[in-house]
Amino acid sequence: MLPICKSGEVDKNRLLCYPSTQMKHPSENNLNVFASLLLGGIGANLLLVPAHLQISITNPVNWVFILLGGACFAAALSLQIVSVMRVSQKRVRLVQGLSILLLIVLARVYQQNEYFMEGAILLFTGVMQLAFILSPVNRFKHVDLLNLTFSLIGFSVGIHLAVSTIGLEQVPLAAYVPYLSIGFLLFAFIGASITIVPSVRYGKTLLRLQALPWAAWCFVFIPSDYGANLIAPLAVIVMVLLNDFLPWNRLRLPEGDILGRRAIMVATTIEVALLVFLSFLLFAAENLLVDEAPAIQAARQATFLFFTFVTSVIYYEVITIVMTVNGLMQELTDTGEEVEKTAGSEESGHPSPWSARLARYLKPFTMTREGIRIRLIAQEDQIEALERQLTNEKKRNAQLTLLMELSQQLENQLDQPVSAQLAVNTLERALNCSLACIYVHEPEKKEFMLLTAAGNQTGLIPAGYRQKASDGMIGRAFRQRKTQIVNDIKLDADYILFKGENNRSAVVIPLIFNGHVNGAIVLNKEDPNAFSSIDIGLAEAAAAELTRAWERSGYQQRLMDLIQAGSQLSSMVEPESTAQEVASIAREILRARFTYVHIQLGQERNFTQSSSSGNAPHLMESLERSTNSAALLAMALHAAKPFRVRDVRKYATTSHLMIDNAGLRSMLVIPIRWHNMNIGAIFAFGKQSEVFFTENDESLAELLSIQTAGAFESTWLQQELRASLRITSLLYRLSNQIIQAENLEEAATDIAQTAHKLAKSAVTGIMLFDTNGIIAADVKVNGIGGNTETEHPMKLIEDAMETGQMIYLSQGQSAIRTCLPIQTPFRKYGAIWMDTPDDPKGNTATNPSDLQALVNQAAIALERSLLLVESRRQAAELKTAYNTLEATYDQTLASLISALDARDRETEGHSIRVSQLAVKLGETLGYSQEQLKVLERGSLLHDIGKIGISDSILHKPGPLSGAEWEIMKLHPNIGAKIVEGIPFLEDTIPLIRYHQERWDGSGYPEGLQNEQIPILARVFAVVDAFDALISDRPYRKKVSVDEALQYIREQAGILFDPNIVNTFEKMIAEDKTGMLIQE
């Protein structure tokens, strides 16, 4: 019957007699082993090669060596036994006390013989053991006693070497002793530091470096007699290298392990027997062969080496047996599932050589009868595991159902936050998480931002939470690009806990697409080891679905942005701004780091435009200046659809490009096609936050190419329209300038300047000839618009005029001279020539047809100008004749009025005087020449109607009767009818007819008032009344000028226009010389 514990399970400890007590501190075991190596080595040396130690004992009798050596060897074996076997604490302390005593005695002996270093090793080892024994419990729980011992020994030895000579004259390499001193002190300091701060990186490696000064010590002193005593240094080297290497958990024997104890006792017996036998054998040989001392000494050394080898083999075999026994007992204790778990962990964790060897030794025992019985119990556990697996499968089916629902929901076009919320809700329900979060990666800020969360602990998350991309578990998942699992958060220093969070398990799944981490899913539970492999697989599947949904959403968003950008491009009018906008849109839509746009339009490819977006100065320079870029451009212009280049550095056509950083190595080339012809290309370099461009980028690139072609077509047509409008405006302005030119030289200058501006030439010249072939105009214009000293190319001008065709003449590699004849079907006027820069690409600044149109327009304008000059000459002659005729009319009119005034001597000269005075008043009022001429003639003819009045009425000395006065009132209408049929006097009719009207309406013939009276009639009324007052009449005498002005002033606003009266008074007052009035 198997022993059963109270819980009903097999009591494996009782079955196998496995100990329940805790194991000793490993540092104590290592210190015991080190002490045993020192005591054992010295003891064997005292028994086998006593002279080799080069020490003297007070009593030189051999039994003293034998006694001391035996005690040391026995103490060494005892220390080794208590380190692996379970004995009482008193026995352990007894053995340790004996070893401490021996170590101190040996240290004293070595000190007396001036072996300070060996004495220091023995002394500090004994002191450290004594300190451990006398210290309270757990005082050295976290201290490595052996490393502390080595550090103390190193300090003491280093200081001693620095201040003492120790008889170095016998050492061949004594010059290196100061360096040894420095080495001992340095590595002792390193060892002490690591002992105090054990968490130092590579601490174990640095501790093992303490063996270097000891190895150097052996190397320095082996050639001397002093080097014969190297047991203590060699023991230090061995323990420095083997520290933390001995598997004490497998070397400690259980209390009931009879087999292990037997093996240790047998090995101990063999070792002691061999040492005793060899010692007595050498003692007997030494007494028999007294004369063979050198041979005996050599035999002792060989015996010591043989004993050392045999002892090492025995130790190795005993260690193997003990570990095998312990491993077998552990194998019999564990269930089958635990064995598989242990094996799997060792396979995955690179098992040590001890573990591999132990596994081979245990294999024959694993199928023992007890093992089979244990396996039966394990099968019961497996059945339970299958039941749990069935439960997990049901849970798995429910999780898959939720995953399918999530996949269907994510098929719709959702925004990133919405799809993330759906995913996190599904994961929280499927895995029963206490907290589920989704973070989005922001490469520009190098941070992860919390996008959404679900679970009963969402309230613990701070608002707007962010964390650096390099921190925490998220940072580890970001760096390793794989799922991170934390079975116990408290044991993981990288995990960042929210305030008040009590979760124990965590899973971090990076959201990766095309090698780029777009975000991360973090799942938490409150129990440790809460996530199974099934849970993790489900979460990774949900992460993949969410990543694909985000990519679809991002593609749709970019597609919408591209459509909106198309309407923006259609409104562009400037080529530079269009190219820049295309570069910016391409960089945004394709998410590129740098974009470059190059366009060639027009029948002769003379419409060229380039632009870029992004910061890549070296790449931009290589694209613009490198001659190899022509091959790249040609490749793009011959492509029918977009194509990708994974690394421009490895592609022959693009290997010349100098990229600013490795992120620009990928390239997407987008040909721009217009009417089945490539007119340019867009080059996109470096996918933002990713490595390469994708197929989605190619599909967007095709749409971008179509929109770009339409935008540049519209821009080019508008550019052509503006260019045509500009040329038309120049030609129209030139025509007007030529027509308005005063002479032929001025017209030639206008033609030369216009051609110079249109052709953007360096020098422009023009020569015009008259009908006799003589130069009529000679003009030359340079780059700043002034004259130049360049001579006219007469031979080229003559050839152009003779052939009537445009002529090109190369002026070397820098310029081309062009000459065009200026001619019409009726006449050849001359020629115009210009020097324009030579473009290596064949692009000219101006279309030749535009220059020809300019010359043709100039010829037509010159012809019209000449006709206009002739017309102007004829018009001047006609004007002269008209003026002569008009003067003749005026003289005839004045003679007629003088004859009319002669009828009445009282009014003789009246018409002439009022005419002159009226003209002066009109000038003062600011009337035009035409109005003044009408005023002058009307004033002369104002009384012409009196021809129809009887002389008896006109010459009556007294007042007129009523009937006579009515007849007199008819003279204004009579005068108007007289001049009515004369064309050049028709404008005077209003003045003649209404000159007797008064401001208040009391005048005749119609009684007009105020503004109804024509303005010239109102002016004349003032002058007529004034002249009548200062002239004699048959019925009264004349008055003075002042009296006349007083009367006029009094009647202002009654008979006369007050404004005109005021002006008239000012005019009379300013007449200082009296030229206007002659009384």
- DSSP states of 987-1023: GGHHHHHHTT--TTS--SSS---GGGS-HHHHHHHHH
Tell me what the pLDDT averaged over the chain comes to: 77
Q: Which residue has the higher pLDDT, 146 or 573?
A: 146
CB half-sphere exposure, 381, CA atoms < 13 A: 13
Q: State which H helix or E strand residue 700 sits in.
A: helix 695-740
Rounded CA separation 106/102 (Å): 6
Alpha helices in 144-292, H assignment, sequence order: 145-163, 177-196, 203-208, 211-221, 231-242, 248-251, 258-288
**pLDDT score recorded for residue 1028:** 84
**pLDDT score recorded for residue 880:** 73
Instruction: Average the pLDDT over 170-185 and give the result.
Output: 72
Flag whether pLDDT at 1026 surpasses 50.
yes
**pLDDT score recorded for residue 510:** 92
Q: State which H helix or E strand residue 1035 sits in.
A: none
Q: Which residue has the higher pLDDT, 496 or 117?
A: 496
Please report, for residues 469, 476, 490, 512, the alpha-carbon distance to residue 494 in angstroms, rounded to integers and kept in the order given.
13, 8, 10, 21
CATH architecture under which domain 571-721 falls: 2-Layer Sandwich (3.30)
- DSSP tag of 1056: B
**pLDDT score recorded for residue 898:** 61
Q: How confident is the model at residue 437 (pLDDT cuts 50, 70, 90)?
A: very high
**pLDDT score recorded for residue 21:** 39
Q: State which H helix or E strand residue 543 sits in.
A: helix 533-570
Instruction: Average the pLDDT over 721-749 and give the result.
Output: 70
Lowest mean pLDDT among 402-416, 576-590, 852-866, 882-896: 882-896
Flag whether pLDDT at 152 surpasses 60.
yes
CATH architecture under which domain 741-873 falls: 2-Layer Sandwich (3.30)
CB half-sphere exposure, 789, CA atoms < 13 A: 0
Instruction: Average the pLDDT over 175-193 and give the result.
Output: 79
| Residues 682/582, Cβ–Cβ less than 8 Å | yes
**pLDDT score recorded for residue 1062:** 92
Please report, for residues 65, 618, 685, 894, 1014, the alpha-carbon distance to residue 661 in angstroms, rounded to integers and kept in the order given.
78, 10, 11, 102, 91
Instruction: Average the pLDDT over 400-408 and give the result.
Output: 78
Number of H helices, E strands in the chain: 35, 16
Q: Give the β-pairing of 505-513 and 484-486.
A: antiparallel
Geometric angle at alpha carbon 51, from 48 and 55, rounded to 5°: 120
Residue-wise pLDDT tens digits, 24-45: 555 677 788 888 888 888 888 8
Flag whether pLDDT at 227 surpasses 60.
no
Instruction: Average the pLDDT over 333-341 and give the result.
Output: 50
**Residue 473 tokens, joined:** 């578990």
Residue-wise pLDDT tens digits, 512-532: 877 778 899 999 998 898 888
**Residue 406 tokens, joined:** 């999530």
Burial class of residue 152, CB neighbours in 10 A (0-12, 13-18, 19+): buried
**pLDDT score recorded for residue 521:** 92
**pLDDT score recorded for residue 1:** 35
Geometric angle at alpha carbon 718, from 712 and 722, rounded to 5°: 140
Q: Name the fold adopted by 902-1069.
A: Hypothetical protein af1432 (1.10.3210)
**Residue 243 tokens, joined:** 């520290």
Q: Residue 776: which of 854, 872, 866, 873 has the closest Cα?
A: 866
Give the CA diameter of the chain: 208
Flag whether pLDDT at 734 surpasses 80.
no
Residue-wise pLDDT tens digits, 1033-1079: 666 778 888 888 899 899 998 989 999 999 998 888 887 445 556 54
Residue-wise pLDDT tens digits, 953-999: 877 777 788 888 888 888 898 888 888 878 778 888 898 899 889 99
Residue-wise pLDDT tens digits, 270-286: 888 888 888 888 877 77
Flag whether pLDDT at 600 surpasses 90.
no
Alpha helices in 334-368, H assignment, sequence order: 336-348, 353-362
Flag whether pLDDT at 507 surpasses 90.
yes
| Residues 482/509, Cβ–Cβ less than 8 Å | no
**pLDDT score recorded for residue 813:** 63
Q: In sequence order, what are the residues at sequence separation of 6 or more whose Cβ sits closer than 8 angstroms to the Cβ of residue 1031?
A: 906, 907, 910, 1038
CATH superfamily, region 406-555: GAF domain (3.30.450.40)
Q: Which residue has the higher pLDDT, 435 or 899?
A: 435
**pLDDT score recorded for residue 785:** 55
Q: Which residue has the higher pLDDT, 853 or 228?
A: 853
**pLDDT score recorded for residue 916:** 86
Lowest mean pLDDT among 266-270, 337-341, 512-516, 627-631: 337-341
Q: For the chain, where do the domains classified as CATH 1.10.3210.10 start and end?
A: 902-1069
**pLDDT score recorded for residue 581:** 83
For tokens 């220059």, name the residue. Answer: 851
Flag whether pLDDT at 508 surpasses 90.
yes
Q: Which residue has the higher pLDDT, 596 or 32?
A: 596
Task: Pick from 200-209, 359-368, 447-456 the range whose average pLDDT is largest.
Answer: 447-456
| Residues 236/146, Cβ–Cβ less than 8 Å | no
Q: For the chain, where do the domains classified as CATH 3.30.450.40 start and end?
A: 406-555, 571-721, 741-873
Cα 843 to chain center, whole Å? 37
Buried b (16+ CB within 10 A) or exposed e, 254-277: beebeebbebbeebbeebeeebee
Q: Which residue has the higher pLDDT, 3 or 272?
A: 272
Angle between helices 62-84 and 258-288 (to 10 degrees): 170
Q: What's the first-to-final CA gap in the chain, in angstroms?
A: 173
Flag whether pLDDT at 877 surpasses 60.
yes
Backbone dihedral angles phi then psi of residue 842, each to the nearest 5 degrees: 85, 5
Q: Which long-range contacts (CB under 8 A, 24 or more apart) does 928-936 make?
A: 930/987, 931/1016, 934/987, 934/988, 934/991, 934/1016, 935/991, 935/1016, 935/1019, 935/1020
Instruction: Average the pLDDT over 610-626 and give the result.
Output: 83
How many residues in the chain? 1079
Q: In sequence order, what are the residues at sequence separation of 6 or more whose Cβ sits closer than 8 angstroms to the Cβ of residue 804?
A: 821, 823, 828
**pLDDT score recorded for residue 58:** 46
Full-model pTM: 0.39
Instruction: Average the pLDDT over 634-661 and give the result.
Output: 84
Flag whether pLDDT at 222 surpasses 70.
no
Please report, for residues 28, 335, 844, 1002, the alpha-carbon distance to residue 784 in angstroms, rounded to integers and kept in the order given.
101, 103, 20, 74
**pLDDT score recorded for residue 345:** 46
Buried b (16+ CB within 10 A) or exposed e, 449-460: ebbbbbbebbeb
Q: Which residue has the higher pLDDT, 977 or 602?
A: 977
Q: How confident is the model at residue 349 (pLDDT cuts 50, 70, 90)?
A: very low
Rounded CA separation 95/678 (Å): 97
